[in-house]
Amino acid sequence: MKYFFTDCEGPLTKNDNAYELTACFLPWGEKLFRQLSVYDDILAYLVKKPGYNAGGTLKLILPFFKAYDLNNQEIEKFSQKNFLFVPHIIETLNFLQKIMPCFIVSTSYRPYIHALCKTINFPEKNTYATEIDLDKLKIGVKEKIKLKNYAQEIINLPELELSAGVKKFSQLPDRVKKSVQRLNKIFWEEMNNLRSNKFFEIIRPVGGEEKAEAILSQLGGRKELLENVVYVGDSITDRQAFQVVRKNGGLTISFNGNRYAIESAEIAVISRSAYILGLLSALFVHFGKEKVLELSKKFALAQVVNQTNRKEIIQKSEIFRKRFRGERIGQLG
């Protein structure tokens, strides 16, 4: 038996749900989200803060959701109304579910994935998402004011940026270093006394490692079954899943991916339509991985990534991705 695993935001939808929620419900939310998203990248890749995984923006933003009285139901309602589906994905998923078990492994919040399952009639038990419960934690008025002040301060800090060439914290411009230091103080010292700090302890975003773990646990921990898996992803949190599936003989497909995806996947699809995912996966089911690679080349279905063409594919895919998903979302994570 073969198995289909896919990320959600990117291959299935064009949303960045956490970003959209922040932009919609919080004043200057776009700016706040951008600052936290870059801060998250800096902690994960430059500082390598122990125990800190990429995907942390989803955690860092939660106290501010609380400060502005966002609740579970509102997230679900908002998500339901704002789905941006990749063209033809619903019929493709319906088809794929007929030929093999299908799973969604997503970093997105549970209420978004819950709304998605309802909308496209996908079994929720076959999904992984970042579990959050905004209603369970109660915070007082004083804490809300404090959090709103922090949000304002973060928005007003010099803009955070992480250019592609920067490999060490010391290479960051001084103003960015200062902003990071202030954020460290806010999040890891001053907020320690707040009730909403609980979010940082209990929420475990489904990041890179968790996605790889999810696949393996779905297979009952049997690594030898990974050769039957096709995994579709598009960005940094798919990297580990790509690596583990590929190393063990499964098929890995980047769908309009960024450089992190194309550096780890064997096949790169750049497309406006999800049909190609159905086609490649069906070939995988019927003929196996080698045939998929062979026919991809022969009929120019998709690009098989190698040392020589990788750079060019990354460039094309990243340009297309920005246009396809919208400039701002395409740049994030």
Using CB under 5 A, list all residues that contact Mg ion: 7, 9-10, 234-235
Question: Which of 10, 63 has the CB closer to Mg ion?
Answer: 10
Residue 50: alpha-carbon gap to chain centroid:
21
State in angstroms the smallest separation of the CB of 130 from Mg ion.
13
Question: Which of 234, 266 has the CB closer to Mg ion?
Answer: 234
Question: Which of 233, 278 has the CB closer to Mg ion?
Answer: 233
State in angstroms the smallest separation of the CB of 234 from Mg ion.
4
Helix axes 29-41, 174-188, angle to 10 degrees: 100
State in angstroms the smallest separation of the CB of 170 from Mg ion.
31
Question: Which of 6, 196 has the CB closer to Mg ion?
Answer: 6
Amino acid symbol at 81: K
State in angstroms the smallest separation of the CB of 7 from Mg ion.
4
State in angstroms the smallest separation of the CB of 235 from Mg ion.
5
- For residue 28, how many other CB atoms are within 10 A of its CB? 15
Question: Which of 258, 303 has the CB closer to Mg ion?
Answer: 258
Would you say 19 and 116 are in contact if contact means Cβ atoms under 8 Å apart? Answer: no
| Nearest-angstrom CA–CA distance, 97 and 117 | 13
Which of 6, 87, 3 has its CA nearest to residue 265? 6
| Nearest-angstrom CA–CA distance, 298 and 291 | 10
Question: Which of 9, 143 has the CB closer to Mg ion?
Answer: 9
Question: Which of 146, 325 has the CB closer to Mg ion?
Answer: 325
Would you say 331 and 322 are in contact if contact means Cβ atoms under 8 Å apart? Answer: yes
State in angstroms the smallest separation of the CB of 232 from Mg ion.
10
CA atoms within 13 A on the CB side of 92: 20
State in angstroms the smallest separation of the CB of 74 from Mg ion.
23
| Nearest-angstrom CA–CA distance, 130 and 247 | 26
3-state secondary structure (DSSP) of residue 194:
coil
Question: Which of 196, 256 has the CB closer to Mg ion?
Answer: 256
| Nearest-angstrom CA–CA distance, 22 and 5 | 28
Closest residue to Mg ion, judged by C-beta, is 10
Question: Which of 304, 332 has the CB closer to Mg ion?
Answer: 332
CA distances from 7 to 10, 68, 95, 177, 214 (A): 7, 29, 17, 33, 12
| Nearest-angstrom CA–CA distance, 267 and 293 | 8
State in angstroms the smallest separation of the CB of 12 from Mg ion.
9
State in angstroms the smallest separation of the CB of 238 from Mg ion.
7
Residue 168: alpha-carbon gap to chain centroid:
24
What are the beta bridge partners of residue 81? Answer: none
| Nearest-angstrom CA–CA distance, 138 and 142 | 12
Q: Indicate the DSSP class of residue 302.
A: S
